[in-house]
């Protein structure tokens, strides 16, 4: 007896999806909008329809070669979307769920995920430049060629595949075109202030770099109750927005003859309690360290450092007692924190609108990067 059985829903997601993606074939070239094939999710993997993605300087670092990754690659790591299908064994999300991909995964099993000290999962090293899924293969092909993943997320595509440890389910009412920023820029900056530095009420802070992440640091310092928030950027056009978000002073290093750390020490008497480097330049990293209070000041590196560069500095800067630390994804444990940050956004505890300067269709991604590079 032969019967025609309708295809169970669980098998619908097992097909290859053809869709548009912005492929970066080689360094220092524009993105190419191509048709790609996205393989179905394997065990413990999730395929996501990307609804909105942000453009971040870390993506641009790959294009310029400052961050070394294998090509061809689909970049993008700050996004929000809807689960299209799941592989075997996936329990934390299901098709139809609104989600944010996580470039810092949280496996929930390794010593870091189980401990309280850090947020960088040691099972799925987030910053490894392999360009593949945890099993060493990729889910993207284009023109017969395998295309690499970026930071385990690859969001510059209509569909992507991520490991289950790299996706968080969020409020089904959340506006994806806003909360996509919680996938990187907002969480990274805001968390650097409230989570990594643990800024206290009444303290003095300096923020170097007023892009989306730097402005999010300003918001974090304000939320933590800092009494003085000094915003530093070589583009004075960014000062109005920084003040709107809580900066008390704005200074442009180009307007001074002396080094900027000396200017900040003069402005504050002894230097700031907390400084944040949110650019990714070695010179500003050392300036940010030097401008904080010589005995108990803390300086946080938030901007991704260029791969090939070293820092040389006077060790006396640290010997007197300063603390120098880094912060990836704002120090948050991603899978735990992202749904809570989205919930806080829905409760209007912070606004994301000031961080969104332009909204472009996907095929204008190259124009988006031009706007990033010109500081607009």
Catalytic residue numbers? 56, 58, 61, 77, 184
CA angle 44, 184, 346 (to 5 degrees): 90
Contact 284, 208 (CB under 8 A): yes
Cβ 16 vs Cβ 124: under 8 Å: no
d(CA 300, CA 288): 8
Let me know: does 138 contact 146? Beta carbons within 8 Å. Answer: yes
Q: How far apart are CA 212 and CA 105, in angstroms?
A: 22
- Asked if 242 and 264 touch (Cβ cutoff 8 Å), the reply is no
In degrees rounded to 5, what are phi and psi of residue 125?
-55, 110
Is beta strand 298-301 parallel, antiparallel or unpaired with respect to 274-277?
Answer: parallel
CA neighbor of 76 nearest in space, from 168, 159, 138: 159
Distance (Å, whole) CA 159 – CA 162? 10
Those residues with Cβ within 8 angstroms of residue 343's Cβ, 6 or more apart along the chain or in another chain: 171
CA gap 376, 237 in Å, rounded: 9
How far apart (Å, rounded) are the C-alpha atoms in residues 199 and 322? Answer: 15
Measure Cα distances from 167 to 107, 161, 226 in Å: 10, 10, 33
Determine whether 202 is exposed, middle or buried from the number of CB atoms within 10 Å of its CB (0-12, 13-18, 19+): exposed
- 73 contacts: CB under 8 Å, gap ≥ 6: 23, 24, 62, 131, 147, 148, 149, 150, 154
> And the tokens for 292?
């904080």
């Amino acid at each position: 007896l032969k019967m025609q059985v309708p295809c169970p829903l669980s098998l619908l997601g097992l097909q290859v999806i053809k869709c548009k993606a912005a492929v970066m074939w080689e360094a220092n070239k524009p993105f190419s909008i191509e048709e790609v094939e996205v393989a179905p999710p394997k065990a413990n993997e999730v395929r996501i329809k990307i609804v909105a993605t942000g453009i971040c300087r870390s993506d641009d670092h790959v294009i310029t070669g400052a961050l070394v990754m294998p090509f061809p690659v689909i970049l993008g790591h700050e996004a929000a979307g809807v689960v299209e299908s799941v592989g075997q064994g996936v329990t934390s999300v299901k098709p139809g769920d609104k989600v944010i991909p996580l470039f810092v995964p949280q496996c929930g099993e390794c010593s870091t995920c189980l401990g309280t000290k850090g947020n960088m999962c040691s099972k799925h090293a987030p910053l490894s430049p392999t360009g593949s899924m945890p099993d060493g293969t990729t889910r993207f092909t284009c023109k017969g060629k395998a295309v690499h993943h970026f930071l385990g997320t690859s969001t510059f595509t209509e569909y992507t595949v991520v490991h289950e440890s790299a996706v968080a389910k969020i409020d089904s009412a959340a506006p994806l075109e806003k909360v996509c920023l919680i996938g990187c820029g907002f969480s990274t900056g805001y968390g650097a202030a409230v989570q990594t530095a643990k800024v206290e009420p009444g303290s003095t802070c300096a923020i170097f770099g007023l892009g989306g992440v730097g402005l999010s640091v300003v918001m974090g310092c304000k939320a933590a109750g800092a009494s003085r928030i000094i915003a530093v950027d070589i583009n004075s056009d960014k000062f109005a927005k920084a003040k709107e978000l809580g900066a008390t002073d704005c200074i442009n290093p180009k307007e001074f003859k002396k080094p900027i750390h000396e200017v900040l020490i003069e402005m504050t008497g002894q230097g700031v309690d907390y400084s944040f480097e949110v650019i990714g330049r070695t010179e500003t990293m050392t300036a940010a360290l030097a401008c904080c209070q010589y005995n108990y000041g803390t300086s946080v590196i938030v901007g991704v450092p260029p791969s090939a560069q070293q820092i040389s500095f006077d060790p006396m800067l640290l010997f007197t007692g300063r603390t120098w630390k880094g912060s990836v994804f704002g120090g948050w444990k991603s899978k735990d924190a992202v749904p809570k940050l989205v919930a806080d956004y829905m409760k209007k505890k912070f606004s994301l609108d000031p961080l969104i300067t332009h909204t472009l269709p996907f095929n204008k991604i190259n124009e988006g990067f031009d706007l990033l590079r010109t500081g607009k």
